[in-house]
Each structure stands twice: as C-alpha cells, then as structure tokens.
Structure 1
C-alpha cells in the first residue's frame, strides 16, 4: 500500500509523460499475474526468485538490448503478467519492471512516469489479492499514511532532480541504481539459500 501511494503520487505528478500505449498493454498482464498468484499454492525455495530477478536485471542493464518482439504489445502484456506474479510472491518486482521500461527507449520523464503507472497497476492488483487473502489494512492505516506522505515528499524532491539531470546522465544513474538493487537481491537470494 505504501508503494501504491508513492507510485500513485509520482504517477499523478508526471501523468503528462506516461506512455499510455505501453501502460495499457501492461495493465491486463498485471491483472492476469495477480490472478495466477492468488491461485498459486507452490512456491520456489526462498532465494531462487531473488536470484532470477537479479540476473535478469543485470542482463537487461549490461547485456544486449531485448529483441523488438519483447517490447511489442504482446511482450508488454507478458511482462506485466510475469512481473506481477513474481511481485506477489516476493515483493521485489520494481527493479524488474524498471529494467523492462528502461529497454523501451524514450526520455527520462516518460520512463519514470510509465514505470510509476505500471507499478500502480501492480500494487492495486496485489492489494486486492492480499485483501481477499485476509490482510486487514485498517490495522496498519496510520503507519501506511505516514509512510505514503514521506514517499510523496521524496517523490517531489526526486522529480526536481529529474528536471535538472540530462537524459544521458539519467541513463547512467538509472543503470547503476538498478545494478545496485539487483546485487542486493542477489545477496538476499544467496543468503536465503545458504541459510536453509
């Protein structure tokens, strides 16, 4: 819910830059992924998904570009489904979605706005799934609101920075941020696998 509030605020602040074609292709995939996650009873061993996501993000950041078919409407629907499914299982799909959005080209405002819109779709579907599973949001409402407010303040500061940085510098910062996040995921995955 905190991520929904944070990304929702960023989406509202940058809505003019959203790539609506990509977002509307991502949306049905996100719904499908959430539905599959709500029925999924088998879970991979802790650590495996984290390592898979870390490897995918590192390959998309530092390897060759994804094929054009992967960035097509069908590819975007599939990305929406897969990332939402993974997100429902481990809650770490932000770097995965970001690395997919990064591959699509475009300028920095469009990437940030489209990423935020896709994450809003994911978090809304996840909130529905977890609510149906019995999570009581009301018990956490105060803490969630405070964290959302803090996230919105951070978003405003981040968007001021985004306005000042060039597209070229943004690409480098984005790539290294995703790399650090994926290395953290890899560390968490290895730690989970070796602890078990």
Structure 2
C-alpha cells in the first residue's frame, strides 16, 4: 500500500497521523490554539523520540504557514518583526544544545512544558514591549526545538496584544511559522535524515491545509469554554503518560 511508503511506521499509524493532522489543524484554526500540542502528544506515543520534534515541526510549518497565508490581512507585522530576531537567536542556541540531551529527557521536557501550559501562569504584562517580544521569540524558539509544541506559551504572549480573534490567530500563526522554519536548520545540523519521513510530512501538511480551511470557517461560531476544560485534562493525562515513559528511559528500563 501507498501508506506503507510514507514513513518507517506501519500503514495504519501513517493514516491515523494524517487524519489527526487535519483534525488538529482545524482545531487550531477554529479555537486559535491547541492543535499543535495535541498533535505532538499523540505523535509522541507512536514515533521514535529522535524523529518526533523534527517531523512535528515540519508538519506544523505547513499548518501554521497555511493559516497565516489565509489570514494575512489581519497580521500585525510590527510584532512579527520584533519577534523574528529572537527566533534566530533561540534557534542558534538550540542547535548547539540539542545533541547533548540524554535519553528520557525529551519526554520529560514535553510533559513538563504541557503541564505548565495547562496549569501555569501566563506571560507577565511587562513583557509586551519590543525587548520583551524579542525575548519571547528567543525563549520559545529555544524551547520549541526541545519540546516541540510551544504554541500555548506563544499564544499566551500574543493574546495580550489583541482583543479580537482574527489578528490574534493570524499573528500567532505567523510567529509559529517562523519558529518551525528554524527546525530544518536545527535538526539538519544535528544530523536528522528528513527524507525518511518526507512522505508522511507531505501528507500531513496537505491534510493540515484542508483542516485549517475548515477550521477558519468555524472561527466565529465556536463556543469553546467547556471544550477547553476537557481538552486541558486530556493533555494532562497524556503528559503524565510521557513522564512515565521518560522516567523509564532515564532508568534504562
């Protein structure tokens, strides 16, 4: 089957990840946040740790890039220009540090970050100027190369700049596009072989574009207060599973 040629994973898992890419991209477009985190938590259950962040990063590059393109009229270019230098700085630091992580740390980093995103405080109000925006770009890009899904942290920062959802969604998508673009450099330096996963990444990106288009159509209609609570607890349960996996790997089990 063609599905078996997409990646080293079984055909059934490849199909499941492609469908999940469409679903989570639609979620991010409609609710403004959450799809990337849900996707990486699901991918972490079935993919090798060495492939998790780079494959997720390329898929999210396509998903966020498509969403930014579809909402470009609402993009805050000033905030994006201040965010970009921090992205470059964070990527350079991540490229130096990435290969120094021992087995098990990756899973624990992802779990800790997701739990913080669900239950921790957001960005302080004072970090809204140009210097704070640069710092946010550097910190979240660095973390993105280690834990993959920094969307909730970036969204918490972007949200404080906008009262309306469309500018928030557009600017958030553009910031995440810049972050995920750096992963081609970071993981290329680390020696990751992208071609082994190219078919799966391409299929997930295509599915993500479709999901984004559908999600944007629901953007003004979705009421998500109750859904957010359920979603937060689902991510928490997945994070606890990753803690268990990370501890096992650190212990050599």
Q: TM-score range by the shorter chain?
A: 0.7 to 0.9
Does structure 1 residue 69 correspond to structure 2 residue 122? no
Compute the TM-score of the two structures, normalised by the length of structure 2.
Answer: 0.64
Corresponding residue of 2:244: 191
Does structure 1 residue 179 correspond to structure 2 residue 239? no
CA contact (8 A) 2:110 2:148 kept: no
Structure 2: 5+ residue runs without aligned partners? Answer: 1-57
Larger helix proportion of the pair: 1
How many residue pairs end up in the alignment? 189
Q: How does 1:91-102 map to 2 (within 5 A)?
A: 91-102=148-159
Moved >4 Å (runs of 4+): 173-178
Q: 1:83 aligns with which of 140, 144, 148?
A: 140
Compute the TM-score of the two structures, normalised by the length of structure 1.
Answer: 0.81
Does structure 1 residue 58 correspond to structure 2 residue 118? yes
C-alpha change, 1:122 and 1:15, in structure 2 (3 Å) is same
Corresponding residue of 1:129: 186
Q: 1:32 aligns with which of 89, 94, 110?
A: 89
Structure 1: 5+ residue runs without aligned partners? Answer: none
Deviations 1:86-136 (A, max 9, x none): 111121212222232233332111111111101110011111111232223
Secondary structure in structure 1 of the residue aligned to 2:220: helix
RMSD: 2.7
Q: How does 1:96-175 map to 2 (within 5 A)?
A: 96-165=153-222, 169=223, 172=225
